[in-house]
Amino acid sequence: MRKLSLAVAAVAAIGVLATSALAADMQKVRIGTEGAYPPFNYIDSDGKLVGFDIDIAKALCVAAKFDCEFVVQDWDGIIPGLIAKKYDAIIASMSITEERKEKVDFTGKYYSTPAKFVGAKSMKVDIPEGTDAGNKALAGKAIGVQRATIHENFLRDNFPDADIKVYATQDEANLDLANGRLDLVMADSMALKEGLLNTEDGKDFEFKGPDYNEPKWHGLGAGIAIRKGEDALRESLDKAIATIRADGTYQKINDKYFDFDVYGK
């Protein structure tokens, strides 16, 4: 029995060493995310980082055979953090825009949803199609938006007559709307649906006006940002996106959070 135990122990030790060697050979990739943008990335009641972005990131790391870890970073410092090498990639519902492409490189998209306004059900407002008409309709209205986002840029450029108020996180803007300090908020439609409308605080609110998905401001969907020139990492992540789309992993994650195809056209 002693000899058998030693043999088993020896095999187990070899297995541990082989696993450790395999892990050591895997490329280590640090993923930057915000952790404050449900249902895409947020901290749950148990203090765990969860959400669609997080599940997609984990699936991509498996497909690409990366050894990944997450780094939580406030949104307004998330691109500077990437450039400063605090992490290697950003998976945080970041829209692919020409302005951002001046600073970082992107993979192709991994989802695409429009932006919308949300306001109180009791609020009488008609927001017509077209930004010129919409600007006139919302003149003087207090509109909340997260700082340093495509939505802030879109509002400032297209709704200059509104009273635009910026917040560090979308949750803070939603809270001020719920407390009557704002007339409207603007953000990604799914972030507003899951982070506000489907919560207790959102029962008296609804979407207002049309969808907004203007490439100049809203980009070409949400992609993964990496530092300029790191083509091997970008290509590996693009290949991994294609892999999880083809093998059904993406659809399983999609169906966990949404009742429609979030990837878009």
User: Is residue 88 within 8 Å of 31, Cβ to Cβ?
Assistant: yes
Angle CA 142–122–162, to nearest 5? 15
Taking each helix axis as running N to C, give the angle between helix 52-64 and helix 231-246, from 0 to 180 degrees, rounded to the nearest 10. Answer: 100
**Predicted structure pTM score:** 0.83
* Residue-level pLDDT at 90: 98
Tens digit of each residue's pLDDT (9 = 90 or more) over 187-196: 999 999 999 9
pLDDT of 89 over the 80 cut? yes
On the question of pLDDT at 9 being above 80, the answer is no
Instruction: For 24-56, write each residue's pLDDT tens digit.
Output: 568 999 999 999 999 999 999 999 999 999 999
Q: How large is the average pLDDT for residues 56-76?
A: 98
pLDDT at 265: 78
Per-residue model confidence (pLDDT) at position 25: 67
User: Do 129 and 140 form a contact (C-beta atoms < 8 A)?
Assistant: no
Average of pLDDT values for 221-241?
Answer: 98
- Is the model's pLDDT at 12 over the cut of 50? no
Percent of the chain with pLDDT over 70: 91
pLDDT band, very low/low/confident/very high, at 2 (cuts 50, 70, 90): very low
pLDDT, one tens digit per residue, over 133-176 is: 999 999 999 999 999 999 999 999 999 999 999 999 999 999 99
Tokens of 177: 């709307």
Amino acid at 14: I
pLDDT score, position 93? 97
DSSP classification of residue 196: I
Cα–Cα dist 248/58, whole Å? 15
The pLDDT assigned to 16 comes to 39
- Domains of the chain with bracketed CATH: 26-112+222-257 (3.40.190.10), 115-214 (3.40.190.10)
pLDDT above 90: percentage of residues in the chain? 89
**Encoding tokens for residue 235?**
């290509």
The confidence score (pLDDT) of residue 127 equals: 97
User: What is the average pLDDT across 115-137?
Assistant: 96
